[in-house]
């Protein structure tokens, strides 16, 4: 396939490179001038999109997605598939679908889970929203860039799933960090804490796979000075999206709201540029 890829940051560049390695002809564009391995480079987003069988975007927020959509949709060939892998608000995702539909394009909102490591390894999970036909057109690309793709439903459903998933993640990571901090103050060995919780009713991804305590459990960013696998500011972005969505539909999310407040304070003080699991050393410095 001829593929345009717009947004070659920490996630987009390895995703585009994996498509190129699989034999697809990939042309990329990024405002920062980044070039992905094995990919040709375009001078603009419309140039990257023109004449392609598929165009994939990986962008920072809904405002930028809306702007880029307005630029690339007129350049795309009717019948091509537009796959947005950004994590944005549901309304922006649905607006992108509407623009694509008016232009005779197939479209999928397909945010991802798995972080930079998953993007590099081609093991991402895609949460997709769109028609059956659109999902079928994008599925071969998901198979290259990821390990799993779930068709969550109609346009916007992928973003809804991502927002809900990451609200769970933010809440659970804070809970795990609070438990480790409490265990430390009670004199409980961290390894013993991990051995119990990771095999008991408290087990979850935040402790079993991504433990925030250095030297305990599988290797995680905690073992690398909390260098981001998933940055705290990105968790804050997703929690804000969850609360925006909850406000829109009147859903009570008291834990999600508190998690957003805690990450907002963390990023505003000393958490920017650290992994979201660095909530553990932050809690250790706080008073009750």
Residue 162 annotated to the active site: yes
CA gap 44, 27 in Å, rounded: 11
**Catalytic residue chosen out of the listed positions 162, 227, 258, 272:** 162
Taking CA 225 as the corner, what is the angle to CA 220 and CA 226, rounded to the nearest 5 degrees?
55
**Joined tokens for residue 216:** 């305990």
**CA contacts within 13 A on the Cβ side of 262:** 23
Smallest Cα–Cα separation from 30: which of 19, 54, 14? 14
Bin 30: left if φ > 0, else alpha if -120 < ψ < 50, else beta: beta
Separation of first and last alpha carbons in the chain:
57
Q: Where would I find the H helices in 103-189?
A: 115-121, 132-145, 157-185
Catalytic residues: 162
């Amino acid at each position: 396939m001829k593929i345009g890829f717009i947004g070659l940051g920490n996630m987009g560049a390895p995703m585009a490179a994996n498509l190129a390695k699989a034999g697809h002809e990939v042309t990329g564009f990024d405002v920062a001038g980044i070039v992905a391995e094995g990919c040709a480079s375009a001078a603009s987003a419309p140039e990257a999109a023109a004449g392609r069988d598929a165009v994939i975007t990986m962008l920072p927020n809904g405002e930028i997605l809306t702007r880029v959509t307005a630029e690339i949709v007129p350049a795309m060939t009717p019948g091509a598939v537009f796959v947005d892998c950004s994590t944005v608000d549901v309304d922006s995702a649905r607006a992108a679908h509407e623009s694509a539909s008016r232009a005779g394009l197939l479209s999928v909102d397909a945010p991802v889970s798995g972080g930079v490591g998953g993007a590099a390894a081609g093991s991402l999970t895609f949460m997709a929203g769109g028609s059956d036909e659109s999902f079928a057109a994008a599925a071969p690309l998901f198979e290259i860039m990821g390990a799993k793709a779930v068709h969550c439903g109609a346009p916007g459903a992928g973003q809804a799933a991502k927002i809900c998933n990451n609200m769970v993640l933010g809440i659970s990571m804070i809970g795990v960090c609070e438990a480790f901090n409490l265990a430390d103050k009670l004199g409980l060995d961290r390894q013993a804490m991990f051995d119990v919780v990771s095999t008991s009713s408290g087990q979850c991804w935040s402790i079993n796979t991504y433990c925030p305590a250095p030297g305990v459990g599988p290797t995680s960013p905690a073992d690398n000075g909390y260098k981001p696998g998933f940055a705290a500011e990105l968790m804050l972005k997703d929690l804000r999206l969850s609360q925006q969505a909850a406000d829109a539909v009147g859903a009570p999310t008291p834990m999600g709201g508190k998690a957003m407040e805690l990450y907002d304070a963390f990023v505003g003080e000393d958490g920017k540029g650290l992994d979201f699991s660095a909530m553990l050393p932050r809690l250790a410095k706080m008073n009750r």
